Amino acid sequence: MVGDSLSAEYGLARGSGWVKLLADRVAADTPQYNVANASISGDTTSGGRTRLAALLREAPAVVVLELGANDGLRGLSVDAMRDNLQAMVDACRKSGARVLLVGIHVPPNYGDAYAQQFYAVYTTLAQRNHIALAPFLLDGFADRLELFQADHIHPLAIAQSRMVDNVWPHLKPLLRP
């Protein structure tokens, strides 16, 4: 798992985030796999791209890429975000790892056009590269503020299982011998 604060348990008790819950599900369903969480709060696609080579030295079978939210919240270039994610997909595939890209929507702080172009990066990359896509990590509850911390960005512990449910159907087919 290469992600940002949404995957790094920001504001949550250690071991209560969605990646830990996903690791528990993976262990129960396909015990030959282990989940390693290499997520860093505040990480951007540029940061993930920079540190990916070191992570790939561990020869993962599957890499889940959950990055981009901080690019969007900072209004960074959509083209740069796409290029960074594409480079990460390429590096993962070159290493032999299967890839799951996890999409995120951003609020229209920088305009509707930016938000639409931002989200389109995920679907475009998934289609172009024939990789799995979990369309939206916060699907089904993004508009329910009672499920978020006071910052209205990071989900509470009660919402973490929903995130697992949004990712699991797209990850499970990649977990094969």
Report the catalytic residues: 5, 151, 154
Spatial contact of 62 and 175, defined as CB atoms under 8 Å apart: yes
Cα dihedral 48, 23, 101, 152 sign? negative
- Number of helices (H), then strands (E), belonging to the chain: the values are 6, 4
d(CA 10, CA 43): 12
From 62, 15, 20, select the one nearest 172 (Cα to Cα): 62
- Find all residues with CB under 8 Å of 142, minimum gap 6, and list them: 105, 136
Spatial contact of 68 and 122, defined as CB atoms under 8 Å apart: yes
